[in-house]
Chain A
């Protein structure tokens, strides 16, 4: 049996960033010293959605889910003492990808590095933002244009850079089945390739090179045998599509290159120590098969469902990768699944299913059309609902959550020390640094750079050169995005939460529905609930499932979507005459924003409208929220939606009685 040479391991990354550029820089250097071989930058929500730290919508969000980067000095601080010429940096940035790439190039130039040598990735996948992650800004057409600007620019000026990571990761997190994950991600990749191919500044001969630079960002779930087959199927389908649709003859250019973060949706809040095993097993799906192995792997931390991981938590996950790569014999063999009847049959099955679903999307006009008509979004909401129902009914077993729930007290959970807490003063400090920056830059250069940016964007030229100039001139993130907002407008994506026949109800749902109907008789009209997400967090899957479930138990649901200010939420609640407000926040900004909503209710004399909150909220924060007047706090461990609905009915009944 011949063996190929031992393969070099994939790139070890850990998705990280928080509080400030300086703090994140320290974290990066420490992780690199521990053996991490590439960087993966998490940006905060204002940076991802193009707002300066002192914008009203940025309130409570600065530095929470990632590092705040407001301008070139922040970017330089982020990579201080990290020579970009030698580093491989993945940036999870989408709507504002062109801007962050421009900042990266500007910092590289300041360091004396040649942009042509820079290695890394900008995620730059706007379709999945519309479908699940929610940090889009502009409508689909101009967004695709910005996406293809980045691709077209890097193909010539930064040939070692991956301009896009087409994401299937978020689709799985939103509930997609393997076939949906494959089909919708490939549909997005085709949409991007088509957009680039249609450009006048990209000649036909460059298309194989462009295709070769398209890379993917996948998810690896706990059903790791299926995951192995899924990736093998994706690789084969991609190869076929590039050959048949784009005539790419070079086999190397048709390689399926991807990075992975393993599934986080399935990580539990209950008995979180079990998550380490889940993470390790999920890593197998994308490392076992040599021909379908990932190029880069990011592992979440065991306490992902509780809050931000600490350096030790990230280290633990990094060690999993290192043990897998260096202690096992995984990398020494050829593909161990070639010739396996089981794997090859399942791969074929998934390939056929995915190809059929992909064709459905293409028949509609492609990924962008399937975003605008809400088709893909609706399929995802459906799949997610089915998964939640299966967990509720016990059909889908999740250890520690709906089976084997008795537990010893965990030595790993020690109150507030089990997660990283972002200091609330970090926001103020960032705003001060921003103001000082604005004061010391050259106002004329900034104005000229903004004019040039506007001209490029309006005139159809590639925005990258103008953005790099703007970066050097000291333009801020909010200013760059502001120019484009004025020009392109802001988008409200379809919610996927539609009128369709409610699924047959399990007994618990029927029971909750009885209570809701009985309550309606006492209230004089059906129970009306407002469900919305304050702040910049765009992960709407949870809120959507709540909205659908509330409808299923007989409530009238005003679904307000994402990106709301507390004032907007309260105004809507008042106008609509709702009996209860449901807020969803996963970004850690609950401490500020929920209190703002309560304050706003008080100001308008509406303090008798109860508020319930759901999201990623540590126990002591939950206690503080309840002390402030929130009636119930729900976190990922509360998977029984029927029970939640019953409790909401109780909350309304209590308030009505007290009124």
Chain B
């Protein structure tokens, strides 16, 4: 597992070809729906790592194997990163049914490095469930949303009023809200109530899923069973409504588009007719092979730019 993850993270040309082979195979051959992919995001200090630890314990108890990719921001100034989420999971060091990989976000401020998507695919090939944990800064919500089937937002009690949540667009994407530190009592319940009210104000989500707002106490395990139930419920909803396939396809397209934009800039996208045109091409390409699409369209752009 570690070797595969090292491989897909390797930028050297001689390794890239092998990595692509692996990823193409995984994307094509992976059974559908395969592993459940759950994103966990939220502000620093909300207790995501501790909650993740509690979730993993609960899932292990019912026999599920779990892979985790934990992404921490990279320092823009130094390029380094402090990857400190693993430390919360140490009680499961000897358990072969849990795999934890720490990653740095690299150039994406708050978002996910390209290698994250690849890592999730690798883990999804082996484990029953894969978590992607990130800090809620900048792009990470939309990035994780493109990668996860279910997005969980972990909030702190008293983390500012509803207006802040709405302004940040935080309410649009998550499928489940978990207000942590429920042991604080009133402040947690208040934040939960505010979230529910705020969600009620927005448009109902297409497809009819109403994101539940749960109170949990990661440290003591309170509310974790309910959270797992909510994850299960969302998965069933996605499968029953046919939305899971759609969602993964959209996510793959969005990721490929962003990757092309990052790599070649608007100039590069213009070479193929502009952003909207590229998005259409990706749509027509008929993913799930996002990595293949990325390579093909990337090669086209490079040719076009050379020719120009």
Binding site for B on A (CB under 8 A): 139, 373, 490, 492, 495, 497-499, 501-502, 505, 513, 516-517, 520-521, 524-526, 547-548, 550-561, 564, 567-568, 571-572, 574-577
Q: Choose among B2, B86, B115 the residue that contacts A574 (Cβ–Cβ < 8 A).
A: B2
B83 within 8 A of A: yes
Closest 4 CB pairs of A and B: A524-B10, A551-B80, A524-B12, A554-B79
Q: Choose among A524, A564, A567, A576 the residue that contacts B15 (Cβ–Cβ < 8 A).
A: A524
With A492-B87, A559-B87 known as contacts, the answer to whether A568 contacts B81 (CB < 8 A) is no
Q: List 5 A-B contacts (CB under 8 A).
A: A373-B45, A497-B84, A550-B80, A551-B82, A558-B83
**Interface digits, B4-41 against A, CB 8 Å rule (1 contact, 0 not)?**
01100111100100000000000000000000000000
From B9, which residue of chain A is reached at the shortest CB distance?
Answer: A525
Complex contact A499–B78 (CB within 8 A):
no
Complex Cα distance A555/B72, Å?
13
B165 within 8 A of A: no
Q: Choose among A490, A521, A548, A576 the residue that contacts B102 (Cβ–Cβ < 8 A).
A: A576
Contacts of A490 in B (CB 8 A): 91
Nearest chain A CB to B61 CB, angstrom units: 17
Count chain B residues whose beta carbon lies closer than 8 angstroms to a beta carbon of A: 41
Complex contact A575–B2 (CB within 8 A):
yes
> Which of B81, B99, B103 counts the most chain A CB atoms within 10 A?
B81
Majority secondary structure of chain A interface residues (helix, strand, loop or mixed): mixed
Complex Cα distance A576/B83, Å?
10
Q: Choose among B6, B80, B115 the residue that contacts A554 (Cβ–Cβ < 8 A).
A: B80
From B73, which residue of chain A is reached at the shortest CB distance?
Answer: A499
Contacts of A502 in B (CB 8 A): 75, 77-78, 80
B283 within 8 A of A: no
Contacts of B219 in A (CB 8 A): 139
Complex contact A559–B101 (CB within 8 A):
no
Contacts of A373 in B (CB 8 A): 45
With A560-B87, A575-B101, A577-B2 known as contacts, the answer to whether A553 contacts B82 (CB < 8 A) is no
From A501, which residue of chain B is reached at the shortest CB distance?
Answer: B77
> Which of B9, B44, B73, B83 counts the most chain A CB atoms within 10 A?
B83
Complex contact B101–A556 (CB within 8 A):
no
Contacts of B2 in A (CB 8 A): 574-577
Complex contact B86–A557 (CB within 8 A):
no
Complex contact A553–B78 (CB within 8 A):
yes
Contacts of A560 in B (CB 8 A): 86-87, 90
Complex contact B93–A571 (CB within 8 A):
yes
Complex Cα distance A574/B99, Å?
11
Q: Choose among A139, A495, A520, A561 the residue that contacts B90 (Cβ–Cβ < 8 A).
A: A561
Complex contact B9–A577 (CB within 8 A):
yes
Complex contact A552–B78 (CB within 8 A):
yes
B100 within 8 A of A: yes
Additional A-B contacts beyond A525-B11, A575-B101 (9; CB < 8 A): A499-B44, A499-B72, A502-B80, A517-B79, A548-B82, A551-B80, A556-B104, A567-B94, A571-B93
Contacts of B78 in A (CB 8 A): 502, 505, 513, 551-554
Q: Choose among B11, B45, B73, B83 the residue that contacts A559 (Cβ–Cβ < 8 A).
A: B83
Contacts of A550 in B (CB 8 A): 80
Complex Cα distance A348/B216, Å?
46
Complex contact A526–B104 (CB within 8 A):
yes
B1 within 8 A of A: yes
From A579, which residue of chain B is reached at the shortest CB distance?
Answer: B6
Contacts of B280 in A (CB 8 A): none
With A524-B15, A568-B93 known as contacts, the answer to whether A495 contacts B84 (CB < 8 A) is yes
Complex contact B5–A577 (CB within 8 A):
yes
> Which of A499, A501, A513 counts the most chain B CB atoms within 10 A?
A499
* 44-68 of chain B: CB within 8 A of chain A: 44-45
